[in-house]
Amino acid sequence: DAKTTQPNSMESNEEEPVHLPCNHSTISGTDYIHWYRQLPSQGPEYVIHGLTSNVNNRMASLAIAEDRKSSTLILHRATLRDAAVYYCILRDVGGTSYGKLTFGQGTILTVHP
């Protein structure tokens, strides 16, 4: 499985934007870039995913480098509820119908009031 590299931790202030980086230099052409977050004592929550183009949804934006070797999750205005572990994952679909989602260590985001 192609691997991702994320900073162990990041800090932000409430109502400021947060840019969470992810490196995936061995990404293959069939890998989708997924982001999930996990709040304490909860299961992971889907945030966003993309293949080549930048993506926006109600939770966040995903900026994908042109060579696809890195990506950035953007939270436009952090709130205290955004404090979580954020996982950048390459979903390997290949020839299967389901793919595999293999979690790395993730980034612990702390949001200060």
Partner 1 sequence: DTEVTQTPKHLVMGMTNKKSLKCEQHMGHRAMYWYKQKAKKPPELMFVYSYEKLSINESVPSRFSPECPNSSLLNLHLHALQPEDSALYLCASSRTGRNYGYTFGSGTRLTVV
Q: Which residues bind partner 1 (CB under 8 A)?
A: 30, 32, 34, 36, 42-46, 49, 51, 87, 93, 96-106
Distance CA 35, CA 60 (A): 10
Q: Which is nearer to partner 1, 21 or 99 (CB)?
A: 99
Q: Which is nearer to partner 1, 98 or 113 (CB)?
A: 98
Q: How far is the CB of 103 from partner 1 (least distance, A)?
A: 4
Q: Which is nearer to partner 1, 12 or 107 (CB)?
A: 107
Q: How far is the CB of 111 from partner 1 (least distance, A)?
A: 19
Phi-psi region of 110 (alpha: psi -120 to 50; beta: other; left: phi over 0): beta
Q: Which is nearer to partner 1, 66 or 96 (CB)?
A: 96
Q: How far is the CB of 13 from partner 1 (least distance, A)?
A: 25
The pair phi, psi for residue 39, each rounded to 5°, is -80, 160
